[in-house]
Each structure stands twice: as structure tokens, then as C-alpha cells.
Chain A
Amino acid sequence: MNPWVLYALSGVTVFSVGLVGLFSHEHPVKRILASNIMGSGVLLVLVSLARREPTGTPDPVPHALVLTGIVVSVSSTALGVALARRIARLDETAEEGRAGSDAEAGGGAG
């Protein structure tokens, strides 16, 4: 077995781990991380493909694809995290609001 096939297979394994993680977790941050792991798996496959030329010269196209892939992955992660953060903050203010009204209803018993 060529070493690049081994690398590509491990890339596919990483991808599968991410895919399972994405659909088995509820927490948004865990799911975003899982999708990141999936992305890394795909990029690993691409990187391993670039080394397979028989002459030993690496193929530049997969490198360009990996760089673009990293940019896309960073952007989508940032967007996901921004959304998750805003949802968490909305929940926090909602909880504080509820706690505040509870304290008022209690008539300052504490």
C-alpha cells in the first residue's frame, strides 16, 4: 500500500469521526467543532493526494485547494461561533430578567 493511500484513509477516518460527532451532539459549540474536524479530514485527503506524483514533485493544485478550503472553514466556523454566542447571550439576558422579576416578587426576602 502506498503511503499516500494510508494518509488518505486516515483523512477519511477523521472525516467520519467529525460526521458522527456532528449528528450525535446537541451543544452548538460541539457541533461546530465536529464540522471543523470533518473539514480537516477532507483537507488531509487533499494534502495526501498532492504527494503522489511518481517523479516526486508535489502537485500544486491540491495545495491551492487546501488553502482555499482553510479560508472557507475559518469563515464558516467564525459565523457559527458568532451565532452560538449571540444565542447564549440572549438566553443569559432572558434568565437574568426572570431572576430579577422573581426577586421583586419575593419582596426582598433575601
Chain B
Amino acid sequence: MNPTAWMAWPVVLPLAGAVLALLVGRKGVRVVAGLASVATFAASVMLTWEVATRGVLRQSIGGWGPPLGIEWRADGLAVLMLLTIGVVGPLISVHALDHLGDREDREFLPLWLFVWCALNALVLSADAFNLYVTLELMTLASVALIAVRRDRAGLDAGLRYLLFALPGSLLYLLGVALLYGVYSALDLGLLGQRITPGPVAWVAAALMTLGLCLKTPLFPLHVWLPPTYTGAPTPVTALLSALVSKGSYYVLLRLWLEVFTPILDWQVGQLLGVLGAAAVLWGSLLALSQSQLKRVVAYSSVAQIGYMFLFFPMATVGARTGAVYLVVSHAAAKASMFVAVGNIHQAVGITELGGVQGLAYRMPFTFLAMALGGISLIGMPPSGGFIAKWILLEESIWTGQWWWGLVLLLGGLLASAYVFRILRGSFLPLPPGVKVRSIPLGNELAPLALALIALVLGLVPWFPLELLAVGTAR
């Protein structure tokens, strides 16, 4: 087969699976979704193989190349994201099957496949407007996922997410319109060649960055995140934090790497870095002060997203590698923690932090996963989070900006404080009178598998790092 032909499959297969899963009855939905997931994952692996052996692949959709048509491009960064989505997403879905009810299960699987399709299309797009469309597809499918239980909390959370995501993508679209108006191009490569520092480029960059920061979300635009993450069903929260929030961050990274490079001044980088650092410290402090388990993990996401913005002040190839490595390891680690929280909720029905007391003895796998995921969030070796922070720390010293390194270390300390707060309680003796429901083994193993991925990322970092280098221009 023509190597570029592999590019369509990671998008077509989940889409076909989602439509089919909607059409078949209650009995068939798991089979169809399972087959679609396996096929999509296989297609992602094949595409990764092609990229790893042949280098960057390009495909012009419908045979119309840029500047008129839309181009898709698979480089190392894109396929690494494809693999992350393909591994983390299905593991969360396995957990979701038993966590949600029967009816939700029938709706969850097709919606998740839609999100998967949108995410895969997003990471392969190399066109500013196509990125807008895929962002919107991702948002709409995610809103439906948040409201999948049709209870008041979920509906409120879904509407809130939609009403914050919409201005985000419209700000982005306004930026795209300005760029097209001046440079007559939508392709990221062409835009990158034509862009010159000036008021239009600055305004467009500001609008697009603001919109994407609202969606990601970066401090201080994170106000919608805790209530949305708390209102959504736990597996959906895991998907949102691990994958959906990374979609808009990925667009931001691509824009600044390929389009706005000439205008990434020292001051702009420092501003984004300061916001990221504020997110790390403020998010960690808020996580530390929460009394609800799910909120601790949700605020931890605010902090972890902050680290990813420390890339901008350094703006080196190494810092990019560190930021992407953090995206990947955070996807695995945070998904594992949210899924573990879901297990705890299922077992004791309590969401208070005190509710975990004594549970480490009854749910060993869940708490092992929580501890391993926590290690990655803190950045202790050996874990993916450690490698990512180590690279960022090294870069902060190389570029002579030691203060970002200080933020990294301080954030790690605060993270260990809130992770240990959860774990400490779990090792206290089980209080009398607490009834612990047994949960399916699959639900106990799903978070462990996710946490082990975060661990393996720290033990064997060579493969993802080499993959990431494919197609790195600078």
C-alpha cells in the first residue's frame, strides 16, 4: 500500500465504528466498539511504523494541495500523540464500561469513538482552518460525553464546558481569519514562511493563544475546569484531562513551533512562562487545600498544564521534547489517577478525602496505581514525569533561566504533598462499619495498566524520544 494511504485510517476507522455502534442494538455495541478500537490502534501503530522508517508523511486531502486544499501531515510528534490517544483512551473506556450504567454504556462508546476520531484528525491536520474544525468536533463530542448520564450535575457541567469552549474556538477562528486576510494562506507551513512580525501577526497570535489557553485551560482561565471535571462522570473526566485538554495544547504548540516562531520574542515567552509558573504554584496549592478527592486530582491538572507552558520561555528543541514528554506521561498518569478515584467512589461511594481511610488493604491495585501515577506527577524517578521535568530543568539551566527550574522543583514538592495526603489516609486502619463493595478486576487493573505506562515511559524513554525527533526542523 502507498505509505501515505495509512494516514486516513486512524480517522476513518473510529468514525465508521462510531456510526456503526450507534446503529447496532444494545448487544452489539461493545463488540463493534471493541473491533473499531483494535482496528484504530493497529492503524495508528502502522502509521507510526511508516513514519519511524520513512520520515514525515504528507497527504493532500482530495488531491488538492495547499494553498487551496488541505494538507495532512504525520511527523514524529503527531504519531506519538496518535499512540498516546490509542493506548490511554481505550484503557479508560474499559473502565467506563462497568462504571457507567447499561444505557450510558451504549451511548458512551460511540461518543468516545467520535472524540477519538476528532483527536486523531486534529493531530494529523497541518491547516489552520482544519484545526478549528477538528477542535470543534472534539468539543461537541466531549460535551455530549460529559452529559452522558443526563443527570443535573452532568448537564450543567456539559453546558458550562460548551460555553467556555465556544468563545475559545471563536477567538482562534478570528485569528485564523486575520492571518488569511493578510497572508492568504491557511497551511501551517505556508503561513510560517510568509509571516512577518507586525501588528496583524501579533494580534492574530494573541487571539489564537488566548482562545487555546481558554480551552486547555491555562491559569487564570481555568475557572471552568474544577466544576466541569467534578460534574462529569469519572471516566469522562479522565478522558478530558488526559486527552481532550491536550488537543488544544497540541494546536498551541504547533502554532508557536511552525507559524509564530519569528514573533516568539523573549517577552512573549516570559509572559506565557509566568502564567504557566503561576498555574503550577496556584493549582498545586488549591489541590492541597481541597477536601474532595476528585477535586484534588482536578486541581492537579491545572498545575500540570502549567508545566507545559514552561516550554515557551525556553523555546529550544530540548524544551519542546520535555513539554511533549510531559503531555504523554501526564496523559497516562492523570488518567490512572482519575480512574482510581472512580474505583474508590464505586467501592465506598464517598468522595471526601477522608473516605479513603484503610482502603489500601482492600483495593491494592487501585492504590498501587494511584501511587505510581502520583510518582509521575511529582516527577520522581523512574517515571515519564521525571524524564520530562529533567529535560525541562536541564534546558532551563542551559538557557540561563534558572528561575523556571525553581518552579519545577517547587511544583514537585507541592505535588508530593497532595499525593501523600491521599496515600497516607489509605494506609490508616479501616474504620469499623464501612462497607467496601467489591469491584470488577478489570476496573482494578485498568488504572494499574495506565500507571505502568507512565512508569515504562521513565524506564525506556529512547523509543518515544527518537520518534519525537522525526521531522523536527530545528
- Interface of B, secondary structure class, is helix
Query: Is the CB–CB distance between A87 and B177 below 8 Å?
Result: no
- Greatest chain A CB density within 10 A among B167, B184, B186 is at B167
Query: Is the CB–CB distance between A28 and B174 below 8 Å?
Result: no
Query: Is the CB–CB distance between A38 and B155 below 8 Å?
Result: no
A68 CA to B152 CA, complexed, in Å: 32
Contact partner of B143 (CB less than 8 A), chosen from A15, A31, A45, A79, is: A79
A24 contacts partner chain B, Cβ-Cβ < 8 Å: no
Q: Mark A79-90, 1 if CB is under 8 A from B, else 0.
A: 110011011001
Interface positions of B from 228 to 263, Cβ below 8 Å from A: none
Q: Which residue of B lies closest to A44 (CB)?
A: B177
A61 contacts partner chain B, Cβ-Cβ < 8 Å: yes
Interface positions of A from 6 to 60, Cβ below 8 Å from B: 8, 12, 15, 19, 22, 28, 31-32, 35, 38-39, 41-42, 45-46, 49, 52, 59
Query: Is the CB–CB distance between A31 and B181 below 8 Å?
Result: no
Query: Is the CB–CB distance between B180 and A79 below 8 Å?
Result: no
Query: Is the CB–CB distance between B167 and A19 below 8 Å?
Result: yes
B75 contacts partner chain A, Cβ-Cβ < 8 Å: no
Query: Is the CB–CB distance between A62 and B180 below 8 Å?
Result: yes
Inter-chain contact total with CB atoms closer than 8 Å: 82
Q: Which residue of A lies closest to B68 (CB)?
A: A61
B173 contacts partner chain A, Cβ-Cβ < 8 Å: yes
Query: Is the CB–CB distance between A22 and B133 below 8 Å?
Result: no
Interface, chain B (partner A; CB < 8 A): 68, 129, 132-133, 136, 139-140, 143-144, 147, 150, 152, 155-156, 158-159, 162-163, 166-167, 170, 173-174, 177-178, 180-181, 184, 186
A to B CB contacts below 8 Å, 15 in the list: A15-B170, A28-B159, A32-B163, A35-B167, A39-B166, A41-B174, A49-B180, A62-B177, A79-B162, A80-B159, A83-B143, A83-B162, A87-B156, A87-B159, A90-B155
